[in-house]
Amino acid sequence: MKARFHFIILTAFVGIYLQAEAQHKTYLGFELGPKYEKISVDDLGGMVGEKPIYYSPAGGFIVGQEISQGLLLETGLNAYKYGVGFRLKSPNVGLISGQSYAAIQIPVRLKSNFGFFRERLKLSPFIGYSFVHNMRYEIDRGSTNIGGHSSSFHAGDESRLTMVATPGLRKNYSLIEAGVSVSWQFKNSFVLYINGSSTKGFKKMTEIDGTYQIGNGPEQSAKISSNGDFYNMLFGVKFPISPAWQYRK
């Protein structure tokens, strides 16, 4: 309910600006790029990797509204799969088991533009808030089949892993975002850009408990969890869609 309230407020905020600032340009854009999930690891055995995991790309569309010469407000919709899993540091084992869910993200970003080369090149640090909907919230809980992955694994070096996941912890959740965008505007007003950002959640979204054994070593217990955090780099193109009403009085 709280996340829905945030979403309603943000939608209203965007609508007000789109009406009040119609004399500035409005942009439509499309973006796509890699995404790297961030996880927390609790592992006394020290054999579970905790580096960011690439699971799937993220992509969607944006609508941007110039507020002033140096400020831009953006919103839109992105879709992606968010996946976390155990990666044992055993030589023959990579990402061997985990869980995933499909997500719809509605971001709102405020960008500050710094122009160079007659305003064609722009460096734009930004902050943002995102409302995210977990499309697999209703997934059955259990350890026999989680996100299409088996809950047990045996590697060639006799490494073993058994895991029990707790999926669908939240149906809707919030993220905050900080990053920087670099863009180049062509003479025909088309803009190519790259966004690099880091997002952070506040409440646990996924949790997996596991036991593993490397070779003849002792059995170890570990837990990984995530708040929905990730790094991403989005490559995009945008173009103005406002000439019809830009100068309306």
CATH entry, 2-240, from 1.10.3720.10, 3.20.10.10, 1.20.1440.230, 2.40.160.20? 2.40.160.20
Listed by start position, the domains of the chain span 2-240
Low-confidence ranges of the chain (pLDDT < 50): 16, 20-22, 95, 140-150, 244-245, 247-249
**pLDDT tens figures, 12-55:** 555 545 554 446 788 999 999 999 988 888 887 777 777 787 87
pTM: 0.74
Q: Are the beta carbons of 106 and 66 closer than 8 angstroms?
A: no
Cα 63 from Cα 48, distance rounded (Å): 40
- Distance between the two ends of the chain, CA-based, in angstroms? 40
Give the residue among 103, 132, 125, 120 at the shortest CA–CA distance from 202: 132
Cα 125 from Cα 110, distance rounded (Å): 9
Q: Are the beta carbons of 224 and 39 closer than 8 angstroms?
A: yes
